[in-house]
Amino acid sequence: MRVLFLCSEYEGLIKTGGLADATRALAVALQKSGVDVRVMLPRYGALYDVALTPDWQSVYFSLAGEAMGCAVRQVAAQEVPLYLLEHHELFGRERPYDDGLHGYPDNARRFSFFCKAALQWCLEQDWKPDLIHGHDWQTGAAACYLKTLYAAALPNCRFVFTVHNGAYQQPLSMAELYANELSWGLPQLRPSLLACGLVYADKLVTVSQGYAAELLEEPAANGLSQLYQQRRQDFSGILNGVDDQIWDPAIDPYLTHHFSPVDLTGKLHCKQQLLRHCKLPDTDWPLFVSVSRLTGQKGYDYLIPALEQWLTSAQAYVVLMGTGEPLYVDSLQQLALKYPHQLRFIHGFDEALSHLLEAAGDFFLMPSLFEPCGLNQLYSLKYGTLPLVRATGGLKDTVQGLDQPQPTGIRFNEPKPEAVLQALQQAMALYQQKEKFLQIRKRGMQQNFDWGSAARAYLALYQQLLN
């Protein structure tokens, strides 16, 4: 079975969040299951230094009458064949979607171009995919082109579309629809690249069952609940996993000290290392960590006021790392100034430090307003760092709260500072009950969220479509 992944991020090459973790891990897991999987993504400016194989192809096509061309190059020495679609003017910019503050104004054009070029490339190769698997709005146009402009040329090719985050849709103006040859037959709905994927794909998946249920309703669906409902028969949730080549505390190459549920000494050393790094004294206070994009999705609107109040008296450390919206950056910097003995805010995107934070923490803060799946809570479980989460989407599916028979973390419901505060207090109390805390820590570390199960579920879906 030949499957082409179209995506905009891939771990090890370009990453802004969990999408990158997911595309790589799933591609590798599918390959292990015997699928001939290949991956294509744009060659961003940040990828101009990547080592390539000597062969490359040129691809020519037209987009609404305009003659277009690009190069397709292959990355050297990859387990899964990886192709970069190169067009300097559209993709030569350093960052994938924005200049750091604002989304690029031509994103609809850029990613429509990517999708049409990818289909044209398929047409011209000996290797023809049986199925194209697109990830998120950046690849929604490909589903539309496959079923319209390329229906005659690639009649047997099927399309699976995974929604990793339904909040990002890339809305389209009428002018953008026409300029990119996208067909839209639903006058009652605002067109977007995400919606193109939802309308035209043969099967729709999202990254947890909990979020799949939420997307059938507003406000989670961000205006598209009708569409998800219409496609209910073809829509399912498949939970992401943990890539244990990258996230395993027993062998993690980013860590100096390793550990496992049977010997947690290394975890204590990681905590000491992080406290030293942050110039915080090494006491037995619990350490709360977080690594995340700084957006409304991640719950900062109620987390920040909760921390502000809690830290006036809490004997605890908080170390947060993230990049994102300036409003949250400012508030977190202010908070760090206000509580220099307890809180550090690391404003940056640092892969190595993200592993140390996961390893060092006692609790991982993930109070998301919504969370399609979430990977950091899964990494946290594996690293013995109890996730403190809001019960939503994938977080609800993967973390058991203290009121459940087999707790693995702490959960709260209301997206309000008082609810976070209460959860923080529960965490403090639990930390004092050493035996119970250790039991929950070890239970979390033994949970199994492997990509093999996800790959099997996707494979079953592919087979269903291809038979």
Is residue 373 within the footprint of ligand GLC (CB under 6 A)? Answer: yes
DSSP 192: B
The distance of closest approach from Cβ of residue 292 to ligand ADP in the complex, given in angstroms and rounded to an integer, is 5
The residue number with the shortest CB distance to ligand ADP is 18
Q: Who contacts 367 (Cβ-Cβ below 8 Å, separation ≥6)?
A: 298, 299, 302, 303, 388, 389, 390, 412, 415, 420, 423
Per the omega criterion (within 30 degrees of 0), is the bond before 305 cis?
Answer: no
**Binding residue for ligand GLC, selected from 375, 386, 399, 410, defined by CB under 6 A:** 375
The 342-381 contact track toward ligand ADP, x by CB under 6 A, reads: -------xxx--x-------------------xxx-----
Is residue 241 within the footprint of ligand ADP (CB under 6 A)? Answer: no
Is residue 18 within the footprint of ligand GLC (CB under 6 A)? Answer: yes
The 301-340 contact track toward ligand ADP, x by CB under 6 A, reads: --------------------xxx-----------------
The distance of closest approach from Cβ of residue 445 to ligand ADP in the complex, given in angstroms and rounded to an integer, is 18
Query: Which segment (17-25, 399-407, 447-455, 459-467) binds ligand ADP by CB under 6 A?
Result: 17-25
User: Which helix (H) or strand (E) is 135 found in, with range?
Assistant: strand 131-135
Contact between 136 and 176 under an 8 Å Cβ cutoff? The reply is no
Is residue 254 within the footprint of ligand ADP (CB under 6 A)? Answer: no
State the binding partner of 207 from ligand GLC, ligand ADP, none, CB within 5 to 8 A by kind.
ligand GLC
Using CB under 6 A as the binding rule, the residues of this chain from 433 to 452 that contact ligand GLC are none
Is residue 372 within the footprint of ligand GLC (CB under 6 A)? Answer: yes
State the binding partner of 292 from ligand ADP, ligand GLC, none, CB within 5 to 8 A by kind.
ligand ADP
Measured distance CA(169)–CA(290) in Å, rounded = 26
Q: Looking at this protein, which amino acid is placed at residue 94? A: E
Is residue 207 within the footprint of ligand GLC (CB under 6 A)? Answer: yes
Tell me what percent of the chain is helix, strand and coil, each rounded to the nearest 5.
40, 20, 40
User: Which helix (H) or strand (E) is 63 found in, with range?
Assistant: strand 52-63
Measured distance CA(392)–CA(270) in Å, rounded = 30
State the binding partner of 323 from ligand ADP, ligand GLC, none, CB within 5 to 8 A by kind.
ligand ADP
Strand-strand pairing, 203-206 and 235-237:
parallel
Burial class (CB in 10 A: 0-12, 13-18, 19+), 51: exposed
- Residues found near ligand ADP in the complex (CB under 6 A): 17-19, 21, 291-293, 321-323, 349-351, 354, 374-376
